A and B are shown apart, each in its own frame.
Chain A
């Protein structure tokens, strides 16, 4: 049923706090930093502005559908999701508490994005600490992992492969 009452912005945000990222299901879409704006029209129609993580992230359509479905279930039917490309998404928007959730889930959280030269050739970046045993004795096996946002790493202490959420 489509509710005709006008929801508050906080009520909409509370619903968004229940929508998880489909590929990293320990983070909500807000924690991931992709919700850029929420507005409620006088008519009660909710508009959520989302920015994609990576251009080719195949989860973006699922995320939009999940947001609309969650709002619908909460009685805020007919919501719209609009896409904004600027400012470009960055992992710097992921808060410390959410980073801790990533680590607990077994994904090394991203470091801060470094503003380097336009064309940088040497990979100077340090491999992340192991999310399982905390050891810094790790290596980056590949910058490309199971999803666009993750790299593949290996811990030499506990001999466990793990993923890192890349700084982007």
Chain B
């Protein structure tokens, strides 16, 4: 939906730093919520606890990034307002994280692809020039590192496990692969932030991501899917174009806050 524009008025140029923070926060908010859906449904107790723990870390990171986004935006929105009172087209997460959980193999493969992305991007951001962004990223990086250890180990166990686990995690990888090019698209926001010394060179980081993903996939006796070429100009989650799944997820995530605004307990 586009807001009706006043003829002659200059279009609102989004603040690149706020946009970057929304992307970082929304990736974690949405994936954290998805992982939370496993709570009480994990295949074994340890993994039920593990996915809930990772979900908590991601929600905590989302809180920090979104809080800062709201502060810099200066419109009086805190992290809760941003999480519960934005519409689906205002979310800036990548599509990868909003996909439904599928089976445990799908959740692990999605997590693994994201965890590698989180580690390489947070490492770059933690060395950036914006003190708050760097501090939050450095803190989140410590957590992302052990999230990756967990998901990578499961890639090995499932890929190099039984025929059934191998088949399932391979089909998950095949289905997820077309959502990965979006992670590395550089747009105006990324270019402005990179030039300002705050952001990251996603095209450069892609090589690092590729190397780790390829190593683990090979070790897990899995086959890397064929590279997908992203159509030029294709829109994605970073500009508010989402799969049909995000709206359903948000409906569930936001209903209590919207039904009882300002409720406390």
Contacts and interface: CB of A to CB of B under 8 A. Distances in A.
A144 B39 CA distance: 14
Contact of B152 (A89, A118, A121): A121
B60 A56 contact: yes
Nearest to B53: A144
B212 A54 contact: no
A118 B122 CA distance: 11
Interface residues of B, number: 40
A52 to B, nearest CB: 7
A88 B142 contact: yes
A55 B135 contact: no
Nearest to B67: A83
Contacts of B140: 55
B135 A143 contact: no
A145 interface: yes
Contact of A54 (B49, B119, B132, B143): B143
B139 A85 contact: yes
A73 interface: no
Q: Secondary structure at chain B's binding surface: helix, strand, loop or mixed?
A: helix
A55 B212 contact: no
A114 to B, nearest CB: 11
B149 A121 contact: yes
Given A86-B138, A88-B135, A143-B146, A119 B119 contact: yes
Size band of the interface chain A makes with B:
20 to 34
B20 interface: no
Interface in B114-149: 116, 119-120, 123, 131-132, 134-136, 138-140, 142-143, 145-146, 148-149
A79 interface: no
Interface string A131-153: 00000000001111110100010
A120 interface: yes
Contact of A119 (B46, B59, B116, B143): B116
A91 B32 CA distance: 25
B153 interface: yes
29 contacts: A54-B56, A54-B57, A54-B60, A55-B60, A55-B139, A55-B140, A56-B58, A56-B61, A56-B63, A57-B60, A58-B56, A85-B64, A85-B136, A86-B139, A88-B138, A89-B139, A118-B119, A118-B120, A118-B123, A118-B145, A121-B149, A121-B152, A142-B46, A143-B50, A143-B149, A144-B49, A144-B150, A145-B49, A148-B57
